[in-house]
Chains A and B, each alone.
Chain A
Amino acid sequence: MTLSLPNQGGLSLIPYLMAGHPDLATTREIGRKLVNTGIAALELGIPYSDPLADGPVIQRAGQRALDAGATTEACLEVAADIAAERAAPVLLMTYVNPVLAYGPQRFARDAAQAGVAGVIIPDVPVEESAGIARTMTVAGLETVFLVAPTSPDDRIAAACAASTGFVYCVTVTGITGSRSALPTDVNALLAKVRTHTDLPVAAGFGISSAEQVSLLRGHADAAIVGSAIVNELDAGRDPGPLVRELLSACK
């Protein structure tokens, strides 16, 4: 299923789940439900032992997933089951070392066969991306690059040029995880990114509440919410109600 976010026509939602947290069966079940709620895409994390871009919530979820046996193969199977719903595209988010260990070509082929739409690898900046991005593109996968509040114009331009599908705009100088308030210059950053690309622009990192999502209306094309959803699962709750609340804040 191809990735097509509404571009400058409204705000959509991309929730994140860590595959295998708390276990693979739960991820499969929750993922299948979530893609049918009207979300723009589902971001599915493949756990890694040393996630440098992630905060404590997602790091802990990744460790729990690894302890429960969430291998790359098993995560790709879960991705395939969720993608089979054909309700919303599935994106994989993981770090470069699990991809290298699996074999980039094999990873790209298996992800494409699983029906995955694209990949996000946050520790592969544009400079290091040539080989891996080409491999993903050849397999038909979108490659989404990140821009950060610290990225100067030339880096924003390079990330926009290398991205397909959409551009991932990191809203905070920091790691993933809930913040009580988003920085005041988020919308300025989003506007700057738009001057470099016609692709949709999604905002992520630090977004956890309906109120924060509603502030992005008219500025971002999608809001990505991760740690807040993982927190619900940590507390043994169904993240469905939170996702519905976030969805209504998009409108």
Chain B
Amino acid sequence: MSERTRFGRFGGQYVPETLMAALDELQTAWLELREDNGFLDELRARQATFIGRPTPLYHAERLTEHFGGATIHFKREDLCHTGAHKLNNALGQAVLARRMGKKRIIAETGAGQHGVATATVCARFGLPCTVYMGAEDMRRQEVNVRRMRMLGAEVRPVSSGTATLKDATSEAIRDWVTNVRDTHYIIGSVVGPAPYPEMVRELQRVIGDEARHQYLASENTLPDTVVACVGGGSNSIGMFAGFVDDPSVELVGVEAGGLGVETGQHAAATVGGQAGVLHGSFSYILQDQFGQVLPTHSIAAGLDYPGVGPEHAMLAELGRASYVAVNDDEAVAAFKLCTRLEGIMPALETSHAIHHVGELAREMGPGARILLCFSGRGDKDMHTIESVSPTDMPVIGGPQ
């Protein structure tokens, strides 16, 4: 099993012994089911009718015009049911958990999108659901807390540490250690011990596979650059999976620069971290010289995590993908710009990537082609945006 647990030197299974049998069970079930036509047919059917797949490829004409450079397309994961790519993974894992006979589901959530996605599939399948969420994130993402409760999930506040996604994840793992026999833990990103990083990638690769097919069909070529935001890194790895074997396509991950990587107040683990172990896998993490995991900062709760998926760490080390950091204020400006120019309100997480797309578009110039994974919608971030920018937004944008 060791070959499959790693991405180069990254990954692995650094968890208490109590969980090891469950990870073996999960790995066995996953490897069987991913080859099982019945499972794959069920998944495809539910993706079509419950999630709303395939999501469209959208030509962002006014942003393209505004930046005056490369042609910009969005892969519209914001149009997935519940408003983000998270449902691709939650649905797949719920179907898997049902087939494994698990009676209870737990999850962690940062921005609440993964929590809502998990609560949604649990409602659909009649499974009891507990979602761990940092107390600070519950405040920031209050609407999503209400949505989860409406769907029947119990939302447990986590007040330890920084009361954000890191601490919610630790608490969810401790719940799993305690209730491992009947509980499945739906991890929301490509983090955690094997087989999660690979399994979540495979459940998210539908984004990249669809996008590649759609892009070729409409543009008769591949994009030059594919861009996605990276917290733990699930929308990005799903998108990258469709293009990683196309050497001409540049892959760019955008991390949360917070108040600036140089200030130490950020969540950019690939750009500003070191290799270490967090939540069961060896990857890049933000830590001090003693190996204690550092508090993070991002205006986007879903990016506010001090680690990154081990496959991203490998892609970064190999140079196959590059990673940049975009700051809070740049993300807020990109949120406003996209909302006003395209009539599409992006999640603050996605807004980080949109800012970088703007920079790249100008740099690459007309004739170049950029594809963005538009990971989620921004309704959940209304309060945050209004609190940092309460007045009327300036009128921006070109003619029309």
Contact = CB atoms under 8 A, between A and B. Distances in A.
Interface string A30-50: 000000000000000000111
B28 interface: no
A225 interface: no
A128 B13 contact: yes
B384 interface: no
A49 B293 contact: yes
Given A60-B160, A98-B291, A173-B178, 4 more contacts: A49-B292, A50-B279, A52-B177, A123-B14
B388 to A, nearest CB: 29
A196 interface: no
A150 B275 CA distance: 30
A97 interface: yes
B290 A72 contact: yes
A148 B18 contact: yes
26 contacts: A48-B292, A49-B161, A49-B292, A50-B170, A50-B293, A51-B170, A52-B173, A63-B161, A72-B290, A96-B14, A97-B276, A97-B277, A98-B290, A101-B289, A122-B16, A123-B16, A127-B1, A128-B13, A148-B20, A150-B22, A150-B181, A170-B18, A173-B178, A173-B181, A174-B18, A175-B178
A100 interface: yes
Contacts of B275: 100
A151 B177 contact: no
Contact of B21 (A53, A97, A151, A170): A151
Contact of A170 (B17, B170, B285, B293): B17
B80 interface: no
Given A48-B291, A99-B291, A101-B291, A146 B17 contact: yes
Interface string A138-162: 0000000111111110010001000
Interface string B184-200: 00000000000000000
A123 B276 CA distance: 13
What is the predominant secondary structure among interface residues of chain B facing chain A? Answer: mixed
A175 B285 CA distance: 24
A247 B12 CA distance: 40
A124 B291 contact: no
A127 B177 CA distance: 18
Given A97-B277, A128-B14, A174 B291 contact: no
B78 to A, nearest CB: 32
B15 interface: yes
Contacts of A145: 17
Contacts of B19: 150
A7 B83 CA distance: 60
B273 to A, nearest CB: 12
B90 interface: no
Instruction: Name the residue in A99, A125, A145, A159 with the highest tally of chain B Cβ atoms < 10 Å from its Cβ.
Output: A125
B144 interface: no
A101 B17 contact: no
B166 A52 contact: no
B290 A101 contact: yes
B278 interface: yes
A105 to B, nearest CB: 15
A159 B17 contact: yes
**A55, A146, A148 — most chain B CB neighbours (10 Å):** A148
Contacts of B18: 53, 148-150, 170, 173-174
B174 interface: yes
Of the four ranges (under 10, 10 to 19, 20 to 34, 35 or more), the interface on chain B belongs to 35 or more
Interface of B: 1-2, 5, 12-22, 160-161, 166-167, 170, 173-174, 177-181, 275-280, 285, 287-293
A169 to B, nearest CB: 10
Contacts of A152: 21
A160 B279 CA distance: 25
B277 A151 contact: no
Interface centre among A52, A97, A148, A150 (most CB of B within 10 A): A52
Contacts of A149: 18
Contacts of B280: 52, 123
A139 B203 CA distance: 44
Contacts of A66: 292
A71 B382 CA distance: 42
Contacts of A101: 276, 287-291
A102 B290 contact: yes
A96 B277 contact: yes
Contact of B166 (A48, A50, A102, A124): A50
B283 to A, nearest CB: 11
A59 interface: yes
Contacts of B290: 71-72, 98, 101-102
A54 B174 CA distance: 8
B292 A102 contact: no
Q: Which of B17, B278, B285 has the most CB of A within 10 A?
A: B17
